[in-house]
Amino acid sequence: MPAQQEKILACACELYLEAGLPGFSMRKLAKNVGVTAPALYRHYDGKNKVLADVVRAAYQAYQGYVYRALRAATPIERFFQAGEGYLDFALEHPRWYKIMFSSPERLGMQELPKDIEAMGWGVHQFWIDRVRECMQVGILKEADPLRTSLTMWAHAHGMVQLYHQGLFPMDQEEFRSLFEESGARMMSGFATDSFRTQLEELNLLGQTAPQA
Amino acid sequence: MPAQQEKILACACELYLEAGLPGFSMRKLAKNVGVTAPALYRHYDGKNKVLADVVRAAYQAYQGYVYRALRAATPIERFFQAGEGYLDFALEHPRWYKIMFSSPERLGMQELPKDIEAMGWGVHQFWIDRVRECMQVGILKEADPLRTSLTMWAHAHGMVQLYHQGLFPMDQEEFRSLFEESGARMMSGFATDSFRTQLEELNLLGQTAPQA
DNA sequence: GACACTGTGTTTACGGTGTTTACATGCCAG
DNA sequence: CTGGCATGTAAACACCGTAAACACAGTGTC
């Protein structure tokens, strides 16, 4: 990747992270780079292509938060550390999280580039692997890891989306514990009996919480 | 609500539904209404206010799909019919679904109007009620209905979002059965033993599905 | 050295956007 | 009839993405 293109991309990421998608324009980007807008077109074939590279950078940032969990020793540690990394990423970089899971329409494209689509599937594949190894060591009940991890991912993604939209009137710390508790509640259906007992001992299932 | 404002809103909904958020402009809206753009400002204080009313209309459409479930006789029927209505709405009107759960930033606002926020909480409250009455008749285990329904809602919302983003390479029918199966899997953790047996008999839990 | 080519920038321009201002028109109450 | 009000218009401003034409510096070749 040529140096000037890299510089443009770096400025583009910075601009997107501080101004969001509606505040992202080629003219502002050009000013940040130190050139005029049409010059950007020497290096990028339009705004969409710049944004596509910002999405790729978002996936890279995501991977930095989640893949470090692979250094843990056991499947269950890898699973929980990855979950923590997922939540950290979603809370510390909401704009990066949002652009990763933006529909093509929102980015002004008809279809996502194939390699970005593949990155989305990669996120899923990672969780399939975590779930599979948890099944192998008897923490989760034997089942289809693909479908089980999909259920878990959808839950986590939905929680984050609803929080980002402002539907939970609470601060980050409260949401964090809500997220963990909700995840544990959901997982109690997939967990083996012995692991479910562990979850209950962590007081994460909230079986005796007050009525709303 | 004055007649002309109503006409503008109707055209705005139509325009949004067929062109999406990026294709929605005050000038196009004005042309559809049969007027020039500045005339819209006599009735609406800017694009944001129009969009806010489109969001309100989206919530109304949502309610039409989900509230009819309240006519069913038993809590369990109300729960499942509401779930079906939720999915129908999400699949038949993806743009309405998307704008309901768009972050304020995407709509060009800093904060959502209070009444729209309240509509979001209303969606949650509806599910709290469904879950509570299922607990009362012994279909779901006794627990905090607020938190239990939140877990369920987040799961449903996450599934829909990931599907809308194109992360599931499948058609609507396949997704529909995936959604139901995933919901049943998640609910198996909240269900009483007798109800879980029912779910298993419906072959919804996919315990013996193939590996990925 | 002269030349052409290539890479990279610029200026200018076109059509689109949200929105404001100033002006016109029609209608209705006093 | 007339003033005021509701409602439209045209013109303008400041942005936006992007295309076309032009400028210039570096490089390789004859």
The string of pLDDT tens digits covering residues B145-194 is 999 999 999 999 999 999 999 899 899 999 999 999 999 888 888 899 88
A22 touches strand D (CB under 7 A): no
- What three-state secondary structure class fits B140? strand
Side-chain half-sphere CA neighbours of A212 within 13 A: 21
In a domain, A136, yes or no: yes
In a domain, B99, yes or no: yes
The domain that holds A109 is classified in CATH as: 1.10.357.10
The residue-averaged pLDDT of B113-128 equals 96
CB within 8 Å: A155 and B154:
yes
Give the residue nearest to nucleotide D8 (CA to C1').
B39
In a domain, B39, yes or no: no
* Rounded (5°) CA angle B157-B159-B161: 65
- In DSSP notation, B82-125 reads HHHHHHHHHHH-HHHHHHHT--GGGGT-SS--HHHHHHHHHHHH
A134: tokens are 């948890």
In a domain, B41, yes or no: no
In a domain, B136, yes or no: yes
In a domain, B43, yes or no: no
Q: Is the pLDDT of residue B97 over 80?
A: yes
List strand D contacts in B 31-60 (CB < 7 A).
35-39, 42-43
B98: tokens are 């998307």
What mean pLDDT value characterizes chain A? 92
**The predicted structure's pLDDT at residue A204:** 57
In a domain, B159, yes or no: yes
> Does the CB of B182 have a partner CB in chain A at under 8 Å?
yes
Domain containing residue A138: 74-201
In a domain, A130, yes or no: yes
**The predicted structure's pLDDT at residue A113:** 95
- Total domains in chain A come to 1
CA Rg value for chain A: 20
CB pairs below 8 Å between A and B: how many? Answer: 164
- Contact between B161 and A157 under an 8 Å Cβ cutoff? The reply is yes
> Does the CB of A166 have a partner CB in chain B at under 8 Å?
yes
pTM over cut 0.85: yes
